[in-house]
Amino acid sequence: MKKILLPNGLSVSAMALGAMNFGTTTSKKESYEVLDLFLERGGNFIDTSNNYAHWAGTGDESETLLGEWLHERGCRDRVILATKVGFDRHGQGAGLKKEQIEYWIDESLRKLRTDYIDLYYAHTDDANTPIEETMEAFDRLVKKGKVRCLGGSNFDTWRFAEANAIANAKGLTPYTAMQQRFSYLHPRAEIAPKYLFNEITDRERLRYLADKNIPLVAYACLCKGGYEVPERLPEDCVAGARMELIQRMAREKGLNPSAIAIAWMTNLCRCKGYPTVIPLFSATPEQLESNLRGLDLVLTDEEMELMNRT
């Protein structure tokens, strides 16, 4: 699997493996199978959070399972590990205050059985805490060696930019990656965002990231399997002409539609106004094998133009 050198110095696989349901709705056995296959195929970028998947358990399961797997396989040095802080988990943990950041990083390190996190995300913005307090707390984690790099997720673009402006002015560690919802299918404009802060990636956000050379880690990029099974599409996704095109291209190239969506995302950086995009998704072992074929597909300029203008 090809690697991407990020501006923050991390060398990551061209896709990130999502571990949201590991240990809850995905069994330990299947989680290990997916993780082993991902590593075997050359993947190294694994994504979790301190609250996954609290709606199906306590919120500790994903990090705990990953910690067990890393320990049993002895592969910590082969993995770029990302986790997060800031979202609610059963009435606790929400926010980016100094005390919360300092408490939850130690909890994540303990569960993950590691001394450091490669990429630590603010899982969502916190308008009730001064940005300076948040960025100073994150910077202390970097200086202590508990965290290597920082990212922001589920932020309004202007708030992300403001946080980085404050960090740069004060000599603090800035956010050097953004994780947001992004896929080939357009979102329905008439449906309100799920969260207080905008999780949807629009063209303005993409242009901002391209201009600042900040990579986009794209969650929900396969629309819950809706490219293969349209009945699974979230209600706020528009199918229409884009779905028809991606399914036609899949038939012509002998790939599954998800692989075409992945190829489009990983080829976007060649197009003006688009940043580096790293698809983030989970899958069964069989689905992972099929989806990975999209990483090797180089779409022509004509194909990219067609897909972008549809």
Tell me the domains of the chain and their CATH numbers: 3-309 (3.20.20.100)
The residues near 275 (Cβ < 8 Å, ≥ 6 apart) are: 206, 209, 210, 213, 214, 215, 216, 268, 269
Six-digit token string for 57: 């358990």
Nearest residue to 8 (alpha-carbon basis) of 141, 109, 120: 120
Q: What is the Cα–Cα distance from 3 to 161, expressed in whole angstroms?
A: 27
Are 221 and 210 in contact by the 8 Å Cβ rule? The answer is no
pLDDT in tens, the chain (310 residues): 999 999 899 999 999 999 999 999 999 999 999 999 999 999 999 999 999 999 999 999 999 999 999 999 999 999 999 999 999 999 988 999 999 999 999 999 999 999 999 999 999 999 999 999 999 999 999 999 999 999 999 999 999 999 999 999 999 999 999 999 999 999 998 888 777 787 889 999 999 999 999 999 999 999 999 999 999 999 999 999 999 999 999 999 999 999 999 999 999 999 999 999 999 999 999 999 999 999 999 999 999 999 999 9
Q: CA distances (Å), 22 to each of 59, 118, 122, 204, 260, in order?
A: 11, 20, 21, 34, 26
Task: Tell me the catalytic residues.
Answer: 52
Q: What is the Cα–Cα distance from 234 to 183, expressed in whole angstroms?
A: 12
Distance of CA 40 to the CA centre of its chain: 21
Does this model's pTM top 0.95? My answer is: yes
Six-digit token string for 39: 């590593």
Which parts of the chain are beta strand (E)? 3-5, 11-13, 16-18, 45-47, 80-85, 117-122, 147-153, 175-181, 216-219, 277-281
Q: What is the Cα–Cα distance from 49 to 177, expressed in whole angstroms?
A: 15
Are 34 and 288 in contact by the 8 Å Cβ rule? The answer is yes
The residues near 163 (Cβ < 8 Å, ≥ 6 apart) are: 131, 134, 135, 152, 155, 174, 175
